[in-house]
Amino acid sequence: MLTKNEALKAALDAHPEQRNALMKMAREHAEFAPIAKHFPDENAAVFAKETAGNYVALQSSLMGAVQNPETAGAAYDMFLSHFQVVDKDGKPVMEADGVTPKLGDDYYIIADRTIDTWIKGSMEDLRARIDANKYTSEEARERDQQRLLAYQFLSEDAGDESAAPGDELDLSDIPEDKRARIEKMQKDLKDREAALNGKSKEQQTQEQTALVQKNNQAFRSKAGAKAKAVIDSTVEAVRKAGAYVPAYLLESTDGKNPPPFVAKVMQQFQDSVMSDPKTRADLIDLELLPPTDEKVSRRVEYMDKLYQKTLPRLIKAELRAIAGKVKADVEAHTKKATSGTPTPEPRNGSAPSPSSWTVETSIKEASRLVNEKFGDRIDQSTKNMYAQAAARYLRNGQPIPWDKF
């Protein structure tokens, strides 16, 4: 660059401190440019570093527990710490006893899956031994049958399909006195389970699903109101700054779905947010909180901060793009119109010649035409903008391209 611009080279040579600072900046940019491709900002880079460090530490701790079982407890505690629920200040949330940390739903999904796999494997081993029937004593066979029975009840409680009706323990070849005792154990366990549960597994699942859906609906409603407030305030600020924002941009085409402009901006917002790993992780953490009013409040508060940080930039960029397209369309139409024979807009018979229009009379007539054309479908600020544009066509003796408005 310096070899091609002698004046710049001479200026920098005359000021070595500024030259060194510029060279240092260029070297740093070249050094960090590849990293910037992967992280949109410093927060994302710090989050990635911390997350990778936590993962490596956990993996090392678990591998160490394999070699030294005495450290298994500490490794498991480290594993649990990744699932602890925290409040908005980052402090751990405790269970009702005030001592036990509350764990997120994601932990219980993993725990349930692990237990289900262990139960299923144990049942398969017991069934294989019972079917092989290579016991040295009847007592040993009975112990395995009792173990299988216990695993079946555990499996039923966990909702495992291996405990489906018709797949119960076969007691036909067991002596009468022992069979009666095992059958009594089965009945006692089932009665106890029914008394403890009170509700069926299906009922519990339905109630939990309904609660989650209600919680999500409350969140969407409140978060949507926050987004609308940011969009409206940003558009209003743009209008006050003198920019033209057509009213139709903020009007729904069918009265049900959001306006196309809003839908496009919100999709851009979604893409922007989900491209940041830290933000994505924060949203997942909030989603996994128990379905309470506090969860709704924390999710809405977090989304509102994202809206205020991101939406104004996206809205202004989209409005600039729309304004550029409108300008290009008008210029193209004007060029096409001027290449033909001018046709003034008629008014109560014969139209005045282009030279007879003054700025004042053209705006007055254009305002009348705009009002006739659009009525109450557009606001006054939009009418004024349309009138200014239409007046120019009148003064030039050109037809007003209403289809471009």
Bridge partner list, 101: 94
Assess whether 316 and 385 both reside in one domain: no
Assess whether 152 and 208 both reside in one domain: no
Q: Which of 136 and 201 is assigned the larger pLDDT?
A: 136
Assess whether 193 and 210 both reside in one domain: no
Give the Cα-Cα-Cα angle 82, 87, 91 (nearest 5 degrees).
70
- Identify which of 90-94, 234-238, 391-395 has the greatest average pLDDT: 234-238
Residue 157 located in a structural domain: yes
Last residue of a domain, one of 298, 329, 360: 329
Residue 137 located in a structural domain: yes
Indicate the residue type of 110: I
Of the candidates 363, 347, 349, 350, the one whose C-alpha atom is nearest the C-alpha of residue 395 is: 363
**pLDDT higher than threshold 90 for residue 184:** no
Residue 119 located in a structural domain: yes
Instruction: List phi, psi (to 5°) of 18.
Output: -65, -35
Q: Which of 305 and 25 is assigned the larger pLDDT?
A: 305
For 265, the enclosing helix (H) or strand (E) is helix 260-274
pTM: 0.45
Split at pLDDT 50, 70, 90, the class of 202 is low
Last residue of a domain, one of 198, 216, 239: 198
Q: Note the pLDDT of residue 165.
A: 42
Assess whether 267 and 303 both reside in one domain: yes
Assess whether 212 and 325 both reside in one domain: yes
Q: Note the pLDDT of residue 350.
A: 43
Residue 121 Cα distances to 69, 116, 131, 155, 164, angstroms: 23, 9, 15, 11, 16
Q: Roughly what angle, to the nearest 10 degrees, separates helices 6-14 and 16-36? A: 110
Assess whether 211 and 318 both reside in one domain: yes
Number of structural domains, the chain?
4
Assess whether 188 and 223 both reside in one domain: no
Assess whether 180 and 242 both reside in one domain: no
In contact, 61 and 82? CB cutoff 8 Å: no
Assess whether 133 and 190 both reside in one domain: yes
Last residue of a domain, one of 329, 359, 376: 329
Residue range of the domain that includes 232: 204-329
Assess whether 283 and 309 both reside in one domain: yes
**pLDDT higher than threshold 90 for residue 301:** yes
Split at pLDDT 50, 70, 90, the class of 182 is low
Alpha-carbon distance of 201 to 199, in angstroms, equals 7
- Torsion region of 258: left, alpha or beta (phi above 0 gives left; psi -120 to 50 gives alpha): beta
Lowest-confidence segment of 63-72, 188-197, 337-346 by average pLDDT: 337-346
Residue 210 located in a structural domain: yes
Residue 93 located in a structural domain: no
Please give the radius of gyration of the chain, using alpha carbons only, rounded to the nearest integer. Answer: 36
Residue 325 located in a structural domain: yes
